[in-house]
Amino acid sequence: MNTKLFSPFQIKDVTLKNRIVMSPMCMYSSHEQDGKVENWHLTHYVTRAVGGTGLIMVEATAVTPQGRISNEDLGIWEDDHIPGLKKLVSMIKEQGAATSIQIAHAGRKAMVDGEILAPSAIAFNEKMKTPKEMSLEEIHETVEAFKSGAWRAKEAGFDIIELHGAHGYLINEFLSPLSNKRSDQYGGNFENRYQFLRDVIDAVKEVWSGPLFIRVSANDYHPEGLTAEDYVTYAKWMKEQGVDLIDVSSGAVVPAPIEAYPGYQVRFSETIKHGADMATGAVGLITTGNQAEEILQNDRADLIFLARELLRDPYWARTASIQLGGTIAAPRQYDRSW
């Protein structure tokens, strides 16, 4: 089957068997407070690996307890998280997929008990808590938490790390002028708002030499917010720091209406890919093999990130291969002659 979607993709020393990526999606399935891998995660992720997905990316995994989106999120803030993650990695790899983890801090969008932190003391909306403006010490501690999380991801055996810089969570909050009103070295102008992410990337790369992705929200959908053209500049800086791919999403740093339609975010991926000469992943209501193939063949992205469609169809890779006029091998357990 001569298609781009089912061609391999290499990043550093990691080769993906195809261009299909399972997007990180919070499963809210850890026990409250402990953030550990449960049987649900083993079933959920490994099923998509069996289904033929090339890269399985584990959901937003918090680098600190207060950085969780919810109390039921996975964590990577302590060494006790490593064994469960290591087992998950092993089971995914047994089924032929590469592995990635998205490490994250929710910032002002954390819905956990107690105090929450953000660049500025501005609530996301009237229903959510007002965060504490981070001190320089808290900023430095959080940078170190990302570094420690990356080290634990390495110990667990992941092939790729993604930093969550999208959807209004902490890194995104520092980048956007809508949520960052600081006047110190971490705010006040375009370059200073990048400084937190710059520090995180530098810290992570002290312990991690493998492929590094960053998910961004390439449009704030607000007249005073950031656009994909702004992220071209940010992507160039990320590339200079050794980031390998930008996972291009959009929105959610402030409440704003978004007109969603099939492939509505692909244009942002295309802008960043060509503007920064940077590998990108496309996301957003991509549902068919033909749609994915068009994106790749027209050089609008390098990888296809699927979320809800993989929830609906864990065997989407096989479905897409049939749509594109071919077929991929079934798992060997399904191929026996009876």
pLDDT digits (tens, 9 = 90+) for 4-61: 999 999 999 999 999 999 999 999 889 877 999 999 999 999 999 999 999 999 999 9
What pLDDT does 31 receive? 87
Q: Give the whole-angstrom CA distance, residue 81 versus residue 309.
A: 29
Residue 233 has pLDDT above 90, yes or no: yes
Tens digit of each residue's pLDDT (9 = 90 or more) over 136-181? 999 999 999 999 999 999 999 999 999 999 999 999 999 999 999 9
Residue 127 has pLDDT above 80, yes or no: yes
Question: Residues 82, 35: contact at Cβ < 8 Å?
Answer: no
Q: Give the whole-angstrom CA distance, residue 238 versus residue 259.
A: 28
Question: Residues 24, 59: contact at Cβ < 8 Å?
Answer: yes
Question: Residues 134, 122: contact at Cβ < 8 Å?
Answer: no
Question: Residues 119, 142: contact at Cβ < 8 Å?
Answer: no
By the 10 Å C-beta count (0-12 exposed, 13-18 middle, 19+ buried), 95 is classed as: middle
The amino acid occupying position 283 is V
What average pLDDT is seen over the chain?
Answer: 96
Please count the other Cβ atoms lying within 10 Å of the Cβ belonging to residue 157: 16
The amino acid occupying position 152 is R
Which string of b and e fits 289-305 if b means at least 16 CB within 10 Å?
Answer: bebbbbbbeeebbbbbb
What pLDDT does 328 receive? 83
Question: Six-digit token pair at 185?
Answer: 């070295």
Q: Give the whole-angstrom CA distance, residue 262 versus residue 282.
A: 12
What are the backbone angles phi and psi of residue 330, rounded to the nearest 5°?
-75, 160
Q: Give the whole-angstrom CA distance, residue 301 versus residue 279.
A: 7
Which of 223, 275, 271, 225 minimizes the C-alpha distance to 248?
271
Tens digit of each residue's pLDDT (9 = 90 or more) over 59-118? 999 999 999 999 999 999 999 999 999 999 999 999 999 999 999 999 999 999 999 999
Question: Six-digit token pair at 119?
Answer: 């660049």
Strand partners, 99: 56
Strand partners, 10: 15
Residue 332 has pLDDT above 80, yes or no: no
Q: What number is the average pLDDT over the span 121-127?
A: 96
Which of 215, 212, 255, 218 minimizes the C-alpha distance to 233?
218
What are the residues whose beta carbons fall under 8 Å from the beta carbon of 327, sequence distance 6 or more?
Answer: 1, 318, 321
What are the residues whose beta carbons fall under 8 Å from the beta carbon of 141, sequence distance 6 or more?
Answer: none
- Domain 19-333 CATH (choose: 3.90.1150.10, 3.20.20.70, 2.60.120.620, 3.40.50.200): 3.20.20.70
Question: Six-digit token pair at 161?
Answer: 């790390």
